[in-house]
A and B are shown apart, each in its own frame.
Chain A
Amino acid sequence: MTTPATPAAPATPAAPALPAAFDRVSFDRLLADQHAGRAAPAWVIDQRRAAFDRLESLSLPDRRDENWMRTDIRLFKPKAWGPRHAPRSDAMVPTGLLAECLAGGRSTGDSFFDDGAQAAGGSTPLAGRLLSLDGHVLHEELDPALAARGVLFGSADRLLADHADLFQRHWFSVIDSRCDWFAALHAAFHSASTVLYVPPGVKIDEPLHVLSGLGEGGVDTAHVLVVLGDGAEATVLTETAGGGGSGSTTGSGFHCGGTEIVVGRNAFLRMVNLQNWSMGVWHFARQKAVIHEQGRLQWTLGALGSRLSQVAQDVALVGRGASAQVNGVMFTEGRQQLVYNTLQHHEAAGCRSDLLYKGGLQDRSRLVWRGMIKVDKAAQKTDGYQRNDNLMLSREARADSIPGLEIEADDVRCTHGATSGRVDEEQIFYAQARGLSADEAARLVVAGFFQQVFDRITILPVREALARAIGSRIRRLS
C-alpha cells in the first residue's frame, strides 16, 4: 500500500541523464545546496569534508576484513548509486509497518488476560513524527507541549544550526565514520537526518516515530542522533520501508545510514529500528549507543527486508551501573542475506548487558550474527549475556552464530549461547490433532519461537507489527 508523496519541494529540473554518483561533483553540489538552503554550520560542513576525504582514500571493504568476511557484496556496484537531489516526482511514500500498527486498525485488547480492559483498536498517540523519502524530509512535527519543555526533534538541517551547544559534541563522534567505505560515505553524504534532544528530567510518554522511505531505485543516507539528558525518558521508533523488488540484479534501492545514541545518567531510552525495505534494497548501517551512569537502554532491531544487510550494532556502557537490553528479531526469505556484527562494550564497573537475537530463515536465505562482549579492565562486576537462536524453516537456509568474549577484568559474569533448530514435525502433528491446519500450526510454532524476544519488547505496537509481518511471511514448511 502506498500513498502519493506530498509534493515536498517545488518541481526540480528533470533528472540528469546519468544518475549522480557519490563523487566530487555530487559532493560539491550537496555543499552548495547546504549553503544556499538553511546555511549549514561550518562544523557540519567540516565534518562532511573530512569524511569525504576519507571516502576518497578508501575502497569497498573486502573479505579480508573480519567484519565483511561473511558478506557478499560482489554485486554491489558503487557507481550505480548517488545522492538524489529530489525524490522522483512519481515516487510513492511507502506505508510503514509500524506506522500502520501505531495508527491502530487492529484490536490489541484481544488477550485472554486483560479481561477486555484494554481499549481495542485505538491508535497510539505520537509525541512527534518525521517522514522522509529518498533522502528528503517531507514532513515533521512535534507535540508543542514538549517543544515548550525544551525537547528538540526533527530535521537535522533545521536543528543543528541553532543548537550546536547540544549536538556538536555528539554529532558523528559516537560512531566511527572512518572505519570503512560505507561509514565514510554516510558521514559525507548524510541527508534527511533526524535529531532528538530530551532535556534532563523530561519524560516523554508517547513514542516519536521516524519513517524513512525509498522509491523504486531510491537512495537513503539518513542519520539519526538521539541525546537524552540525565534522568530523561523517551521512546523512539525508526523504520524503513519501500525501495524496489528483487527483480533487478544490481539492486533497486540503497541505504547507507547511521544511528548515534547518547543515554544520560539515570535516563531511559527505548529505541526501535525496524528495517523493512523491499527485497531489492542494499542496506548498510552503523549504529552505536553510549550509556552513562545508571542509564538504561532497551534497543530492539527488527529486520525483515533488504536483499543484503550489513549492520554494526554497538553498545558502550561507559558509566557505572548502566544497562542495555538488546533485542533482535530477524526473518529472512528468498536469497536475502543479513549480517550483524554486535558489540557489548563494558567500559565501566557494575554494568549489565543482555543481548538476544532471534532469527527465522526460509528458502535460501542467510543470516549471520557475530557478537562480542568486551570487558575492559576497569569494568569489574560486569554482567554480560549474549544469545542467538535461529529457527531454520528450510533445508537450504543457512545461519551462522559466532559469539565472542574478550575479558580483561577478573570479577565478571559473562555467558553466551547459540542454538539453531528446525520446526519439529511432532509439534505440528500435535497442533493438527487439535484441529489446527498444518500451516496454522507452523505459524503458531514460529510465533512461539519469537515470543521469548517479544516478551522483552515492552512496546505493544512494535510487538504486534513484528508478529504480524512474520506471521504473514511464513509459508508451509517443507
Chain B
Amino acid sequence: MTAPGQEKLVISGLHAAVDGQEILKGVDLEIGRGEIHALMGPNGSGKSTLGYCIMGHPSYEVTAGSIELVEADGTRHDLLAMEPDQRARAGVFLAFQRPMSIPGVRLADFLRHAVTNVRNPDRKEGQELMPMRDFRSELKAKMADLSIDTEFARRYVNDGFSGGEMKRAEILQLAMLRPKFAILDETDSGLDADAVRLASQSIARIGGAEMGILIITHHEQLLEHNIPLRTHVMLGGRIVESGGPELAAELHKRGYERIRAAYPEAAAAERSLQDAATSNAPHPVTA
C-alpha cells in the first residue's frame, strides 16, 4: 500500500483483450512515486500486455477495470480516457520490449519533439520546439552519462540498432523525458553483462526518489541497484502473488513450478491462452 499524500498509478480490476481474446483477467496494482516494483512471470503471462494497456496501445481493448493517476491531493485522472500521447504528457512512460524503428527520422529530432511535448503538455503541433541550443546540451550530457556516443543521435530511430543499442536508446529517452511513472519492459534483454550493470545503475540514478518504476524482467541483475519494494508474479493474466526481493530471487532460481501448483486456476488460464495463441498463430491466407 502506498502512503496517503503520495502520487500514484493505480490499476484495478483490469481486464483486457486482443481480437476478442481475453489476456488480462483482473489485474490490481498500485505504484507510488519513488517506489520500484518488479513484475515477473512466465512468457505469455500478460506482462507486456499490461504495459501496453497502461500506455494505451490501440490493439488492446480494456474490457473492465480502471487505470488512474492519483495526485497527492487525491485528484484522479482516468488514463483510459486519454490518447497515448496524452498519457505520455501526463507523465507515463513505457520502455518497449521491442522498440519500433522509424526509418528516416533521426533520434535527435524525434527526441526533441518528445521532450518538448512532454514538458509542455498543452503544446500543439507546429508550435515552437525546445530551443536547439538547450536541447543539444542536455542531450549531449545525458548521452555522456549513459556512455552513448553522440553520433548515435544522428541515426534513425531504432533503425538497424542492435538489440542492446535499442535498449540503451530506451533508457536515454527515459532520462530525457523524466516521467512520473515508468514501465520498463525487459529493458535488460539484449544487453550484455556489463551493459546490464550499467543500465541498472543508470536507471537508479534517473529514477531517484521521484519516479515510480515497474520493472518487467526475467532476471535479477537489473534489480541490483533498483531494489523493488514489491515483486509481483503474473500468471495467466493475473497477479497471483506479491512479495519482497526474496520472491524475485526464488523465481529466478527455481522458476514457476511452485506458483503454477499454488494457483491452479491461473495455470489453467495460462494453458488456454497458449492454446489460443498456437491455434491463431499461422493465419491461413484466405481470399
Could you list which residues of chain A lie within 8 angstroms of chain B, going by C-beta atoms? 110-113, 115-116, 424-427, 429-441, 443-445, 447-452
Contact = CB atoms under 8 A, between A and B. Distances in A.
A29 B110 CA distance: 59
A38 to B, nearest CB: 49
Contact of B106 (A112, A431, A441): A112
B104 A437 contact: no
Contact of B100 (A112, A427, A436, A440): A427
Contacts of A431: 102, 110, 114
B22 interface: no
Interface in B37-90: 55-58, 83-85, 87-89
A439 B84 CA distance: 12
A453 B84 CA distance: 31
B133 interface: yes
A406 B11 CA distance: 64
Contacts, number: 105
B96 interface: yes
A424 B100 contact: yes
Contacts of B55: 429, 433
B233 interface: no
B3 to A, nearest CB: 29
Contacts of A424: 100
Nearest to A434: B114
Given A112-B139, A448-B156, 6 more contacts: A112-B153, A432-B83, A432-B88, A433-B84, A447-B105, A449-B103
Bin chain B's interface residue count: 35 or more
Contacts of B103: 448-449, 451-452
B173 A434 contact: yes
Given A112-B108, A112-B132, A436-B113, A430 B58 contact: no
Contacts of A434: 88, 110-111, 113-114, 118, 173, 177
Shortest Cβ-Cβ A-B pairs, 6 listed: A448-B104, A451-B104, A435-B117, A432-B84, A430-B100, A448-B105
A435 B100 contact: no
Contacts of A426: 100
A190 B136 CA distance: 52
A250 B87 CA distance: 49
Contact of A444 (B83, B96, B101, B113): B113
A193 to B, nearest CB: 37
B165 interface: no
Nearest to A424: B100
B132 A110 contact: yes
19 contacts: A112-B108, A112-B112, A112-B132, A112-B154, A116-B133, A427-B100, A431-B114, A433-B87, A433-B94, A433-B96, A434-B111, A434-B177, A435-B117, A435-B177, A436-B117, A438-B85, A444-B109, A445-B102, A448-B102
Nearest to B85: A432
A106 to B, nearest CB: 13
A440 B114 CA distance: 10
A475 to B, nearest CB: 12
A424 B133 CA distance: 32
Nearest to A450: B104
A430 B114 contact: no
B164 interface: no
Contact of B136 (A112, A430, A447): A112
B99 interface: yes
B125 interface: yes
Nearest to A429: B57
Contact of A436 (B106, B114, B173): B114
Contacts of B173: 434
Contacts of B112: 112
B154 A113 contact: yes
Contact of A435 (B104, B118, B136): B118
A439 B56 CA distance: 16
Given A112-B106, A112-B154, A448-B104, A433 B83 contact: no
Contacts of A427: 100-102
Contacts of B177: 434-435
A357 to B, nearest CB: 16
Nearest to A110: B132
Which has the most chain A C-beta neighbours within 10 Å: B100, B114, B139?
A: B100
B104 A433 contact: no
B257 to A, nearest CB: 35
Given A436-B113, A438-B83, A444-B113, A430 B132 contact: no
A1 B120 CA distance: 32
Interface string B112-142: 1111011000000100000011011001000
Contacts of A425: 58
Contact of A112 (B96, B109, B114): B109
A445 B106 CA distance: 11
A449 B159 CA distance: 12
Nearest to A430: B100
A444 B105 contact: yes
Contact of B125 (A437, A447, A449): A437
A451 B105 CA distance: 8
Contacts of A439: 125
Contacts of B96: 430, 433
B260 to A, nearest CB: 32
